[in-house]
């Protein structure tokens, strides 16, 4: 199984480098399929996928922050203002996910994947004409509250938050390079707080396999982080040789397939509501 986790880390890392997105969008759906195939209980496998994904982001985000900070692309003032909300929201995201049955969590992930696919598919059609303007950012309290909501959603879906933070900052006319760099920095508190929450929420659950700490499965964590950091650099190099527009469309299609599969697989839940 370690070979599969190594391969998953390579794919997630390459995609992250190519597209500037966190590997969680790939890691979570893939781990759901892998855990399901290995016979892990359906009641915990989705929570394990999310928790393990967040744990891997702790490692990968350090490398990403280092690179962005070297280019002066991280707004540390904005980071420290929003981080309290991020930390609280990420912890509550773990609590919220634990309250949801695995099938419902998969439904939410499926819907989120499709939303991200649509956003990614149309992003290349919009011209980035905004100018950087610090005075358009809201005050500290709205930023903290926004950080709380972003951290909450990111922890539920097992992502670093870039898919949520970059559009949020861009809305307030923050320069794209600065938004991406600062978003990378936010991935660290999201991952630390969120993964710790998943450890606590899952602690003592008798359905979890060996080598687990709460909802974090360490064999998967180890395999993914060993290759994801290395292949992220490869992806970044390939990004300069391949059409970004074509890449985004291909990845959007992949996310749509993942989202539709998760929704269809749990369609009985929706039928039960009618």
SS (H, E, C) 104-156: HHHHHHHHHHHHHHHHHHHHCCCCCCCCCCHHHCCCHHHHHHHHHHHHHHHHH
pTM: 0.86
Band of the pLDDT at 268, cuts 50, 70, 90?
low
Residue 175 has pLDDT above 70, yes or no: yes
Q: What's the mean pLDDT when you consider all of the chain?
A: 85
Domain boundaries, the chain: 2-273
pLDDT tens digit string along 36-85? Answer: 999 999 999 999 999 999 999 888 888 778 877 887 888 999 999 999 99
Residue 128 has pLDDT above 50, yes or no: no
Check residues 89 and 172 and name the one with the higher pLDDT: 89
Residue 167 confidence (pLDDT) = 81
* Averaged pLDDT, 218-238: 85
Residue 45 confidence (pLDDT) = 95
Residue 22 confidence (pLDDT) = 65
If DSSP codes are grouped into helix, strand and coil, which group holds residue 215? coil
Single out the residue of 21, 70, 23, 53 nearest to residue 216, CA to CA. Answer: 53
């Amino acid at each position: 199984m370690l070979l599969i986790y190594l391969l998953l880390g390579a794919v997630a890392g390459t995609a992250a480098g190519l597209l500037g997105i966190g590997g969680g969008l790939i890691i979570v759906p893939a781990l759901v399929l892998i855990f399901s195939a290995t016979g892990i209980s359906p009641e915990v496998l989705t929570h394990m996928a999310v928790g393990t994904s967040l744990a891997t982001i702790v490692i990968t985000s350090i490398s990403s922050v280092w690179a962005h900070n070297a280019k002066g692309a991280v707004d540390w003032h904005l980071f420290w203002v929003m981080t309290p909300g991020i930390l609280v929201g990420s912890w509550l995201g773990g609590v919220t996910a634990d309250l949801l049955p695995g099938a419902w969590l998969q439904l939410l992930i499926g819907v989120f994947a499709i939303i991200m696919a649509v956003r990614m598919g149309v992003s290349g059609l919009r011209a980035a004409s905004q100018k950087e303007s610090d005075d358009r950012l809201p005050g500290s309290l709205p930023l903290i509250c926004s950080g709380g909501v972003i951290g909450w959603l990111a922890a539920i879906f097992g992502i670093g938050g870039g898919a949520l933070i970059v559009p949020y900052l861009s809305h307030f006319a923050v320069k794209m390079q600065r938004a991406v760099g600062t978003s990378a920095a936010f991935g660290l508190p999201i991952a630390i707080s969120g993964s710790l929450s998943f450890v606590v929420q899952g602690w003592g659950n008798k359905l979890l396999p060996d080598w687990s700490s709460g909802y974090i499965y360490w064999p998967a964590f180890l395999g993914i982080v060993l290759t994801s950091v290395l292949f992220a650099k490869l992806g970044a190099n390939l990004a300069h040789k391949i059409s970004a527009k074509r890449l985004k469309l291909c990845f959007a299609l992949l996310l749509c397939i993942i989202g539709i599969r998760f929704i269809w697989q749990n369609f009985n839940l929706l039928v039960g509501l009618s």
